[in-house]
A and B are shown apart, each in its own frame.
Chain A
Amino acid sequence: MTQRVKFYQTGTWTVGNRLLDAEKRTVQATTERRNALTSGHRACQGCGEALGARYAVDAALAAANGKVIAVNATGCLEVFSTPYPESSWQLPWLHSLFGNAPAVAAGVAAALKAKGRTGVRVIAQGGDGGTVDIGFGTLSGMFDRNDDVLYICYDNEAYMNTGVQRSSRTPAGARTATTPAVGPHPGNPPGQGKNPALIAVAHEIPYVATASVSDLHDLEDKVKKAMSISGARYIHIHVPCPLGWGARSCDTIKLARLAVQSGLFPLWEAQDGEITKVTPIRRPVPVSEYLKLQKRFRHVLKDEAMVAAIQDIAERNIRRFGLLGQGEE
C-alpha cells in the first residue's frame, strides 16, 4: 500500500510530501483538508486524541466527498470539542451518551438507508473507555448486525476525561488514579485487560485495523480503505495523552512511535476475520525507551521484574503478529 521511501529525515522516518507522488500525499498535507476538528477546541497541548481525530475524520471526509455524519461517545474528545455554545466540528455531529455511540450510529445509518440518502456515510468515535468498557455491548451489537458504520476508537489507555482512572486498555504497570502504585501494588495489575481489535476480528466484520498517530500515512490509508467498504468497520488508534501519561506535550508522536517500535502497539489490518497485513517494526526498541518518558511508569522502572514482564508482552506481540518479518501485503 504505502510507497517505499528510503529517505529518512532526522531519525523520524517522516518524509517530505514533495518526494511523494501527488496521490500518495496525505490528506493532512493537502490544501483541501477539511479540518473537521478545527482549532480553538480545549484539548491539552499535545493531545494525541485531538490529533488522531482530526487525521481520521479528515481522511473519512476526503474519502466520502465531505458527506459524513459523526456520532461521538462522551469523553475528552466530546468535552473539549463542544463546550456550549461553541463547536469545533465542521461536519454534522451528534453526541448522545458515554456507552451508546455504536447504537446511535447504527440508527443514523438505518435512517439514511430508509431515506435513500445513499451518498452519506456514518462514523462513530469514542475513547477506550467509551468503546471497550461501557460501550462494548453496543459495539458488539453493531458488529453483529454488520451495520454500515465505521467505528473509530481513540485509545489513550485510561478514562482521561474523569481524571485518569483505569480502563480495560490501561497497560500493565501503569499508574492511574484508581491503580495507584502503593506499597507492593504495581500500578495496574498485569494479566488484565482486553484487545478490542482482535475481538472485532472475531466478529468477522469486513474491516478491522489498528493505527497510530505516529504514522499518518498508514492511518489515513486505513481510514480510506475502511471508507471504501460497507458494513461494520473498526479502527483502533493509539493516541498518547500527555496529561494522563505524565509525558511532555512535545513527546506525543515520539511516544506513539515508541509504542509501535517496541512491539507494545502492533499495527495490523484484518478483513473478514483474517489478519491480512502487519506493519513490520523497522527499528526495534526495548520497552524501557517507551516507559521512561512517562511518569505513569516511573515506579515500574525501579522494578526489573516488572520491566521484564512488559518486555515479554512486547515480545509476545512481535511473535504473534510477526512484527519483525516482512509483513507487507
Chain B
Amino acid sequence: MLKQIEGSNAVAQAVALCRPEVISAYPITPQTHIVEDLSALVRQGKLGNCQFLNVESEFAAMSSVIGASAAGARAYTATASQGILFMAEAVYNAAGMNLPIVMTVGNRAIGAPINIWNDHSDSMAMANSGWLQLHAETNQEAVDLHIIAFKLAETISMPVMVCMDGFILTHAYERVDIPTQQQVDSFLPPFAPMQMLDPDDPVTMGAMVGPEAFMEVRYLMHQKHLQALDLLPRLVDEFETLFGRRSGEMVAPYRLEGAKTVVVAMGSVNGTIKDVVDDMRGEGAAIGAVKVGAFRPFPLSGLRYALSAAKRVVVIEKDLAPGLGGVFASNVRMALRGLPTPVYTVIAGLGGRTITKAALKETFARAMADEIEDPAFLGLKREIVEAELARMHEKPRSGPMAENILRQMGLVGYRL
C-alpha cells in the first residue's frame, strides 16, 4: 500500500512484515524511530510472540541477538555510529558464527568530534567483519532491502547489514509502497536455521580454533560472500516478480551509453548524482553513473563490467581513511585492476556536510578535464584549515582543534 511516511517508520513496518522473533536494541540517533516503532508494534501484539529486549548497551543488543539467533529465532537489531563501534566485538562474533542476523544501520559519522549527521564511517568501520552490507538509495529501497536481507541472510547463514543514510533517509517523509503480509510471506519462508542450540541434539558453538583450522573457517566466510554474489541478483529478480519493482541491485548503471566519465557512489547521494548527470547530459557531456548497492560482498566483476567503457571514474564517498584517502574508491580501483582507467576519489558529505548539485557539477567538470586532485574534498573550507594549521604552527599549546575552528567561524561564543 502506498503511504506517505517517515523512512524509519517504513523500515519498522517492513521489519515487522518479516515476522522477527527477537528484537533487541539500544537507542542512538538516527536509529531511534525504527526501534521505537517496533517496540510499539510488539506491545500492540502485532508481532505475535516476538520478544523486544530493552538492553543496556549496543554490545548487549548485538550479543542478545547472537543468543537469540543461535537458539533458532529470527533476530533483528538496529544501530548507528558510536553504537556500531560499541558493539564491534560482537559484530565480528556474529559473522564468525554464521548467524543470520539482520541489522539496520542509520549511517552516521563517528566522533570525535561527536556528530549525529550522516556519513558512512560507521558501516565502513565494520566492512571487514564478515557482515554483508547493502546500501539503500531511497526509502522504498530501504524497505525492500530489509525483506531481501532476511532471505539472503538465512539462505547462506550470514548476517546482513542494511545501511540507510541517517536523517537523509531515516527521517525523510516520502511516498513508500509497504508490501502486504501475504506478499512478504510468499517471498520469505519461516527461518530454518543451519545450526541451533537444542537439548535434543546438543552442539558446541563458538569453540576455540587454532592455526590448524582457523584459515579454513575464515575462507568459508569469504566463500559465503562469493555465494551471495550469485544469490543476491536472483533474489532481486524473484523480488521483482512478486513485488513488481527492482530493488537491491548490487550494480545499477545510469545513462552509461557513451559515457566517458562515470560517477560511482553508494546510498542516497545517487539521487543527486543522477540529477546532475541529467543536467550535464543535457549540456552534451558524456557522463553517466553507477550506483553500488552492496559494499560487502563487493561486486568486483559486476562493477568492472559496468565501468569497462569508462575513460575515467569518479568515486563519491562519504568516508575518509586518514592517511590513505578513500576506502570505497580503493575497492572500486580493485574492480578495475589491470586497466589504465583513472579512479578519482571525492570525499564528500562527512558529518552531514551538504552535497549540492552545484558542487558535484563543478567537481565532475574538473574530473572530466582530468584536473582534479586525488583525493578531492568536496566543499572543504580551505581557509579554515589554513588558519588552524597556522595556529598550531604558532604555539605548541594551540588548544583543541574542533573548538578553535568553531570559535573562528563564530559558531560558539566562548572565550578562553
Contact = CB atoms under 8 A, between A and B. Distances in A.
B202 interface: yes
Interface in B173-212: 197-199, 201-210, 212
B75 to A, nearest CB: 7
B205 A111 contact: no
B173 to A, nearest CB: 32
A293 B213 CA distance: 41
A96 B68 contact: no
A140 B204 CA distance: 26
A107 B24 contact: yes
B73 A114 contact: yes
Given A91-B202, A93-B205, A113-B49, A137 B70 contact: no
Size bracket, chain A contacts: 35 or more
Contact of B56 (A71, A90, A138): A138
Given A110-B22, A111-B73, A90 B202 contact: yes
Contacts of A97: 63, 89-90, 93
A51 interface: no
Given A87-B207, A103-B64, A111-B68, A145 B53 contact: yes
Counting chain A CB atoms within 10 Å of each CB, the highest count among B63, B208, B209, B213 belongs to B63
B110 interface: no
Interface string A155-198: 00000000000000000000000000000000000000000000
B22 A93 contact: no
Contact of A94 (B57, B75, B205): B205
A107 B49 contact: no
Nearest to A109: B67
A111 B198 CA distance: 12
B160 to A, nearest CB: 18
Contacts of B50: 114
B24 to A, nearest CB: 7
Nearest to B22: A110
B113 to A, nearest CB: 26
B63 A96 contact: yes
Nearest to A78: B208
A105 interface: yes
A66 interface: yes
Interface of B: 21-22, 24, 49-51, 53-57, 59-61, 63-73, 75, 89-90, 93, 97, 197-199, 201-210, 212-213
* Closest CB pairs A-B (n = 7): A107-B67, A107-B64, A141-B56, A95-B206, A111-B73, A103-B63, A111-B71
